[in-house]
Chain A
Amino acid sequence: SQQGEEDPQALSIQEGENATMNCSYKTSINNLQWYRQNSGRGLVHLILIRSNEREKHSGRLRVTLDTSKKSSSLLITASRAADTASYFCAHSPVSYGNNRLAFGKGNQVVVIP
């Protein structure tokens, strides 16, 4: 399968703590992206990291990519109640060009106020 897999799948933390999620994939990729989905809503693009990048920051988000291990992590620092959502990684397999994203199952993150 070319689908990514996140680990852990459910995370409950106190507001102010950091949340870390991991994702693995099985093929060569062009890039990997993280999306957020609030309950019953659409997918919101958070950050994209290219295959030649190792780390990227955007606000309170930090993404790492290890292509040798075919894995990525998303760190949310100083979490807020509004960060409660499901987080998905999605990768763009080289074999598919840039036209399709392969999503993982997602991490449910609950931030307790």
Chain B
Amino acid sequence: EPEVTQTPSHQVTQMGQEVILRCVPISNHLYFYWYRQILGQKVEFLVSFYNNEISEKSEIFDDRFSVERPDGSNFTLKIRSTKLEDSAMYFCASSVPRDKETQYFGPGTRLLVL
């Protein structure tokens, strides 16, 4: 069964550095999302992406964050000038046009900012 994959599974970085989190959505999916879950807290929406542009973003998704679909398979989240509070599990999700409400999640990337 097709799955959303994410790399790396864990990422440790120094505060102020840039990180890129990678996702490979399910192949026929056209809607893409990033969510994050700070330890012990709720899963929070960051951004949705469709047709090579951001559809919607939350207040968390400030100008340090960016998303890109550099090719036909990858979907990336870049965080510049990382802060301690960016430490979280980051989930990528995707969905198909005929059922975009049902989002399929990847296993997540645990980001630790020191």
Contacts and interface: CB of A to CB of B under 8 A. Distances in A.
The number of chain B residues touching the other chain, given as a range, is: 20 to 34
B55 interface: yes
Interface residues of A, number: 25
A29 to B, nearest CB: 11
Judged by DSSP, the binding face of B is strand
Given A3-B42, A99-B48, A103-B44, A45 B101 contact: no
Contacts, number: 56
A92 interface: yes
Contacts of B4: 42
Given A99-B33, A100-B58, A105-B42, 9 more contacts: A41-B107, A41-B108, A42-B91, A45-B104, A90-B43, A99-B48, A99-B56, A100-B45, A103-B42
18 contacts: A30-B101, A33-B102, A43-B43, A43-B93, A43-B105, A45-B102, A45-B105, A48-B102, A88-B43, A90-B43, A92-B101, A97-B56, A99-B31, A99-B33, A99-B55, A100-B45, A101-B45, A105-B42
